[in-house]
Structure formats: structure tokens, C-alpha cells
Structure 1
Amino acid sequence: MGIKRGDKKLHIARRGVLYSLVLCCLILLIGGVGFWVIDPGVHTLADGLWLAFTTAATVGYGDVVPSTHASRGFSVVVVLLGLAVLSLATASLAAIFVEKDVAQEEDLLAQDLLREINLLRDDIRALRDEVQCLRTSSPQP
């Protein structure tokens, strides 16, 4: 007994959310360490992580801000990566909810197609019988 197609897609979507969240945490960790190392105004790793989070999420509370040109440039990279990865995580999560509806719709479509194919087979069978009947009833020259 194998995995159904819808279950496989749902599994892939769930794995995508997991990978996105891991990638998001990795970017935030690298960003936090980067801010902690580059910016003299960031005194602790916790402040660096907080700055990376507020920068990646584009919240920017202002309690900790990049203070050098290098850290401002680094914050641009963190913003771009943060937006990309957070968008990816959101899209992966949305795909899980949408996939359930799509799988049900695909199942209904497959059932309709099978029903139509069976009707066509019945029509072809009836036509063959009718042609066979015409051949046997008509006089042969």
C-alpha cells in the first residue's frame, strides 16, 4: 500500500515549512553573530540576535540600531535574506492549507473523468453491436 499523491504533496509542503524555518533560524543566527562582531554598539550576542530579527522582519523598533557603515551594509543583506526566507516560510505554510483543497478537487476530477471514460466505453460497445447487427442483417452481394 503506497502513499497517496495528495499525502505525498502534503508531506513535501510540511518538509518545506520545516526547511524554511531552519533556514530562517540559520540566517537570524548568522545575522546576530554578524552584528555582534561588526557593530561596536551591539554589546551582547542577544542584542545582535535581536537586531538581526528586527532587521530581517523589517520591524526596526529602534532600541538597537546599526551604528557603522559596515553594519548598515550588513543590515541590507539581512533584510533581503530575511524577506526572502520569511516569505518562503509563509508560502510553504499556506501551501499546506491550500493542498488539502486541491487534493479533494483532484479526486473529484479524477472520478468525473473515469465516469466519462466508462460512458464512452459503453457508447462504443453499443455502436459496435449496432454495426455488427447491421452487417449481419444486410444482404451481402
Structure 2
Amino acid sequence: MASLWQRIASPLQRWPILRRLALQLVVAGTVLVGCGVVYWWIEPHTPTLSDGLWLAFVTASTLGYGDLIPSTHASRMFSVFVVLLGFGVLSFVTAAIAATFVESQERRMEREILHDLHRQVKALHTELESLREEMRRR
């Protein structure tokens, strides 16, 4: 029986787009955790790490629920950085997902083109053989 890592790694090896998407999701998660740790460190209204992580997620995604808000000048300036970083990271992840769909459509079109090309080559081969047979009879 294949291990869990082998089941996860197999599709990632076959499709480079999925490998990039997985890498970008890991980077996005790492960035959010790092920002959460910084919020926990500089913001007095985030007494727990989970509060810092929540504030980082809400700020990076620009949801802004209002349950936790930056109260110091340092955390407000950091929030600007987190919003810009969130836009960048989420844009990369969205682009990777879109590229996955585009790649699958391109592969489908390539398969159709190759199938049509093989059919035409086979027809040409059959026609060439019939012409050769006709030439032999003469």
C-alpha cells in the first residue's frame, strides 16, 4: 500500500502546475503564520497566537471583521504591509489555479489535434498503399 506522501507526491510530479500551486499554498500559509506571529508580538489586543493568526488572515484577505483591530502605530503600519502582501500572495495562488484550468483545456485540444493528425496520416497511408498496388498492376 502506498504511503500518504506517495499518494500526494504522485500527481504533483505529473503536473508541474499542481506542483507550483502546492508550493504557492505552502508559501501563502507560511506568510500568514509569520504575519500572525508578528501581530501576536506587536499588538497588545492579541494575547494569544491564535488571535494573531486570525488578525493576519483577516487583514491579508481584506475582510476586516472588526473583532480584532490593530491599535498601535506599529501594528497599523504592519497591517498595510500585510494587506499588500496578501494581495500579492492571493494573486499568485489565483493565477496558479487559473493556469491549471488553462493547461487542462490546452491538453484536451492537443489530444484532439493529435488524434485528427493520426487519422489523416492513416488515411494518406491507405491511399498511398492503394496507389502503389495500382502501379504494380500496370
The 1:13–1:44 alpha-carbon spacing in structure 2 relative to 1, beyond 3 Å, is same
In 2, distance between residues paired with 1:10 and 1:89?
19
Question: 2 CA distance for matches of 1:31 and 1:20?
Answer: 16
Cα distance 1:8–1:21, how it changes in 2: closer, same or farther (>3 A)?
closer
Runs of 5+ consecutive residues of structure 1 not aligned to the other structure: 1-6, 122-141
Choose between structure 1 and 2 for higher RCO, CA contacts under 8 A separated by at least 6 residues: 1
Aligned equivalent of 1:49: 53
Please give the residue correspondences for 1:6-25 in structure 2 after superposition, counting only pairs within 5 Å.
11-25=15-29
Q: Which amino acid aligns with 1:91?
A: A
Amino acid at match of 2:87: L
Residue of structure 1 in register with 2:43 after alignment: 39
Gaps of 5+ in 2: 1-10, 126-138
- Contact residue 54 and residue 61 of structure 1 kept, 8 A: yes
Cα distance, 1:8–1:50 mapped onto 2, change above 3 Å: closer
Q: What pairs up with 1:87-98 in 2 under 5 angstroms?
A: 87-98=91-102
* Structure 2 residue corresponding to 1:30, chosen from 7, 11, 34: 34
Identity %: 48
**What is the RMSD computed on CA atoms of the aligned residues?**
3.0
1:88 Cα offset (Å): 1.4
Quick check: which has more Rg, 1 or 2? 1
Distance 1:8 1:32, change over 3 A: closer
| Equivalenced residues, count | 124
